[in-house]
A and B are shown apart, each in its own frame.
Chain A
């Protein structure tokens, strides 16, 4: 029997029950569209996390106090990080992988401007190198300079959120704010970076290190030292150089007993990526289940169709239709259901991915489109084969007598 003829019969069979066929296709459509869309959402969110981590600067390393191994030794023996440590890193002759060093102290204080009072997320005291290392760009005004650091001048750069809270629509540059009792002149406003987590990176006031130490924290320890590697590829080299220098300044012989910790953005990136991968797999599994349900819908409908058309099958067998033809006809019908359903599902998935879903811009994975379509068609074949087989193996006399 010619393929074309089989196809025509299959289309005729589907057209005979339009609503039923349409609903079955809808099942497959939803399955395929949800596979494509949910995977795109998962992929989009992982892309977003990756972008936001990259925006923090991939070649920056953060040195903070505390045991890398964690826990076992007493707090008193932990030596805090100091400005001297940062100077040692900056002046070390052998450290070619280290580009710049910025010690950082963090505190909090309430800022006042006129009668507006606002407490920014953090007040940071550091060196100008901090801006480049942490990928902070000034939107308006200027950064503070090394001269400002040396002169302990009372100048500050505001994060976008802080500027908005204090000044609203006013231009903050050149204005004076009072931060914890100390007056500061605003010299610049940073570009908004946008947050991906719970803390807003734009809710910050950045001022020269000695100024903040003088006003708030005192000249003891620093919270962390931000180190910029010369490139993203040399972060590992920079990390070992930092370890070597700091073990020297802290007079520790055994690297496993180091009293500082070095984290880099790359390791953060891989951690976040594995989280989003789990998320994507979970979404994919949910979507795959809906695809499976669509497939069961096909089986159900094909079984109904076979029962309904038992008599017709009997007639065809009496006219000499071989088993293969009957099998082919019902398989073609179920495959047609799944192919059309999957095709529409692909269209729906791709159209749907142009809208942002719960704040995430979906990014379609091309392999998921092909995969979902292929699996849907395979499901049509697989789930259609049971009813088709049942139809084909009916004895002609039983089929003809069926009412």
Chain B
């Protein structure tokens, strides 16, 4: 596992994610819908915005029903969408000030995505999928291949490198997506309902992989509506109508994820 994962202990205590008074709304005037609003400002109906800090090495599950704003939050955290107002600092950088080019770089270097619907590039082999972020980062072909193979073996798909998405099962496709997300050694792994389309065995496999990544120091933000999945996280946030209504810590930031801790794996 160690050849892919950046195992260094963070030198600075700056949170990986710091958002302040963040709001996201759609539509105008009376038809405005606040997908993210936070608490109302005292005495008015105006949204105050969401505040949130996520520490390096944390494993956060964001829960909420459909329409609670959890996907909106995830898209903003992943720099796929821009907030209506508020500040978002990723690794100390104010993302709001970056142009399109720099945002692409941030997505490439700092964030690894895992989506509910896998989102693999069609007609492309598993190896090429995993090489893709490295190619965009400008890594040389031989180095790219070596690192992509390492990432694929990490998720247990080393011998399926030449398979295309339509030749892989759902669980295997999601493992390819995990390998693709971690191959650039990003600061943060963002997973949007990663097990939503998987059977229970594949769910365990994928969550096991994510637990393992967190155990080696990777920050993970996971969106889910299943308590079973949230059980894997060190901290659980609940969103209702664009507000964080509860914030429960299930395990310390420095320790292993709760499920691995229960198995007796040392930190």
Interface residues of chain A, those whose CB is within 8 Å of chain B, are: 1-2, 5, 12, 16, 311-312, 314-323, 325, 395-397, 400
Contact = CB atoms under 8 A, between A and B. Distances in A.
Nearest to B133: A319
18 contacts: A12-B123, A312-B121, A315-B119, A317-B107, A318-B113, A319-B108, A319-B180, A320-B105, A320-B109, A320-B133, A320-B136, A321-B108, A321-B136, A322-B101, A322-B104, A395-B81, A397-B75, A400-B115
B196 to A, nearest CB: 15
A172 B62 CA distance: 110
B121 A323 contact: no
B137 interface: yes
B136 A319 contact: yes
A16 B184 CA distance: 29
A325 B81 contact: no
Interface of B: 75, 78, 80-81, 100-101, 104-109, 113, 115, 119-124, 132-133, 135-138, 141, 180, 184
Leading 7 A-B pairs by shortest Cβ distance: A320-B108, A397-B81, A397-B80, A320-B107, A322-B104, A396-B80, A319-B133
Contacts of B101: 322-323
A102 B113 CA distance: 96
Nearest to B120: A315
A322 B105 contact: yes
B24 to A, nearest CB: 11
A322 B105 CA distance: 7
B136 A322 contact: yes
Contact of A318 (B119, B124, B184): B119
B148 to A, nearest CB: 13
Contact of A316 (B100, B105, B121): B121
B135 A5 contact: yes
B122 A321 contact: no
Contacts of B115: 400
Contacts of A317: 80, 104, 107
Contacts of A321: 104, 108, 136
Contact of A400 (B105, B106, B119, B184): B119
B163 to A, nearest CB: 16
A315 B121 contact: yes
A319 B132 contact: yes
B88 to A, nearest CB: 15
Nearest to A309: B122
Contacts of B184: 320
Contact of B135 (A2, A16, A312, A395): A2
Nearest to A311: B119
Contacts of A312: 121-122
Given A320-B104, A320-B107, A322-B101, A1 B119 contact: no
A164 B80 CA distance: 88
A325 B80 contact: no
Q: Which of A1, A16, A395, A396 has the most CB of B within 10 A?
A: A396
